[in-house]
Amino acid sequence: MNAEVKKSFLVKGNDFSDIKKIIGVVSGKGGVGKSTVTCALARQLKKMGYKTGILDADITGPSIPRMMGVEERCEESGMGIMPPESADGIKIMSMNLLLQNEDDAVIWRGPVIANFVKQFYSDVCWGELDFLLVDMPPGTGDVPLTVFQSLPVDGIVLVTSPQSLVSMIVKKAYNMAQKMDIPVLGIIENYSYYKCPDCGRIEKIYGESHIDEEALAIDVPVLAKLPINPALAAAADEGKYFEFSEPIDVSPIVKNLFDVVLFDLDGTLTDPKQGITSCVQYALASIGIDEPDLDELEDFIGPPLKEHFMERYSLDEKTALECVRKYRERYNPIGVYENKKYDGIDEVLRTLKERGMKLAVASSKPAVLVNTVLEHFDLMKYFDVIAGSELDGTRTRKSDVIRYAFELLDGKGLSHDRPIMVGDRKHDVIGAREAGIPCMAVAYGYGSMEELSAEQPDFIAKNISEITDIIK
């Protein structure tokens, strides 16, 4: 469909909604557990820290509220219809939330149903969402056509099951999406197998899986093969689906979600161990503390210096500031160059720039020293802005540095609607959370996997190459 023609069909969203991505969950036929998969996707995105909502477009057979345990009815406000939330904070809009009784029948013709779906987008105040999942009715009729034409859908996920008949129907749904210029992000096979809880034996109750062949035929990735789970079905009937989750590869869904990447410096772009630990050792010696093993001082890589001197050695603020002064006495002329650029970091930065992303450094290190390191390793050319602390010790808190980076971007007229922070310590994760943005922790730096996992970052990159695998 011509882009201009397609744009003319789009309905205007609610003035108080800010939705970054709309993803349709589609099946060619009923009975494949599409709504269950929609709930699983929403749960996984929510657990990753994304603000998520579900628009239940199956007007005549809505099931999302029951599965998600939502009984509260919608309320009207000056901003529009306010969708209730599940126990884990997923916003839900469904016909069942407008009916007097959830078992009342909706006996409407297609155009009326399609119009209601549009209103669930235009009249509902979704607020700020990273993802709005649209649970489609099965088939390729009025409602899927209306959603594809009227909502700015970023992509769809196809849901299937092992039966051979489903293969043909999946291709029909795929072909419809292709004709409407809607990207197909991946395919999920539900009811793929049953695993006996006693002996662990795998039974293919619905026959052998054909999902790999189906996915290859339409050139889309397989996101998951989900088992038959009687406990999950029972929980959904009781409105306790939020207690369950199945692993689904959501990387194609979050692709292109970010437009700005903020990098920490020490332990993320460069390995500063020799310089930082030697300078900490030098500073401690000035106050009579002997630390002969530099490995024991690795924890100084990342956190603000003054606070860490105080915490690690129970120093008062005056003594800690003197340690910072002595640290810089050696670091500025010598330690700053006792540093190594991580292998592969140039390729990562170059790839992100080629993908059209804006790059920034957000470090608690003084900006003048950040600039010195970046220039020394010829990394300055990749970055749009450099945000650091001041030499007087102000703006060392990571969240403050992140906000300052946004101010610098604003000053250059560069947008930062979809930022992500990348860093190797818990301070980076905490700072990103305080600033209200997602964070990717990197496990190749100086934060242990235990430290990073405890702070629940949105992503963890185990090595440098995984940064560009995740941020696409």
Query: Where are the chain's structural domains?
Result: 3-253, 258-472
CATH number at 258-472: 3.40.50.1000
Q: Where are the beta strands (DSSP E) in 122-195?
A: 128-135, 155-160, 184-189, 194-195
Q: Tally Cβ neighbours within 10 Å of residue 227.
A: 16
Given this model, what pLDDT does residue 62 score?
78
Fold match between domain 3-253 and domain 258-472: yes
What is the average per-residue pLDDT within 58-84?
Answer: 87
Distances (CA, A) of 321 to 75, 299, 305, 333, 365: 55, 18, 9, 19, 15
- Residue 59 pLDDT exceeds 80: no
Backbone angles phi, psi at 431, to 5 degrees: -60, -40
CA atoms 432, 472, 89, 125: torsion sign: positive
Give the long-range contacts of residues 330-336, CB within 8 A, separation 24 or more. 330/278, 330/279, 330/282, 330/283, 331/275, 331/276, 331/279, 331/369, 332/369, 334/275, 334/279, 335/275, 335/276, 335/278, 335/279, 336/275, 336/369, 336/372, 336/373, 336/376
Clarify whether 458 is annotated catalytic. no
Bridging pattern class, strands 155-160 and 18-26: parallel
Q: Is residue 2 very low, low, confident or very high in pLDDT (cuts 50, 70, 90)?
A: very low
Percent of the chain with pLDDT over 90: 52
pTM confidence score? 0.61
The active-site residue out of 56, 58, 264, 424 is 264
Bridging pattern class, strands 439-442 and 459-461: parallel
Tokens matching residue 428: 């980076």
Q: Is residue 121 very low, low, confident or very high in pLDDT (cuts 50, 70, 90)?
A: very high
What is the per-residue pLDDT across 314-347, written as a single tens digit (0 to 9) for each?
999 999 999 999 999 999 999 999 999 999 999 9
Give the long-range contacts of residues 200-206, CB within 8 A, separation 24 or more. 204/162, 206/161, 206/162, 206/163
Most confident of 26-40, 43-57, 274-288: 274-288
Q: Average pLDDT over the chain, rounded to whole? A: 87
- Residue 8 pLDDT exceeds 60: no
Most confident of 177-181, 223-227, 403-407: 403-407
What is the per-residue pLDDT across 182-241, written as a single tens digit (0 to 9) for each?
999 999 988 888 888 888 888 888 788 878 888 888 888 888 888 888 777 776 666 666
- Residue 3 pLDDT exceeds 50: no
- Dist. CA 356–CA 255, nearest whole Å: 13
What is the CATH architecture of 3-253?
3-Layer(aba) Sandwich (3.40)
Selected residue with higher pLDDT from 139 and 309: 309
What is the average per-residue pLDDT within 3-16?
Answer: 71
Percent of the chain with pLDDT over 70: 91
Backbone angles phi, psi at 222, to 5 degrees: -85, 120
Enumerate the β-bridge partners of residue 359. 261
Q: Is residue 393 very low, low, confident or very high in pLDDT (cuts 50, 70, 90)?
A: confident
Looking only at Cα atoms, what is the longest distance across the chain?
Answer: 84
Tokens matching residue 365: 């290190």
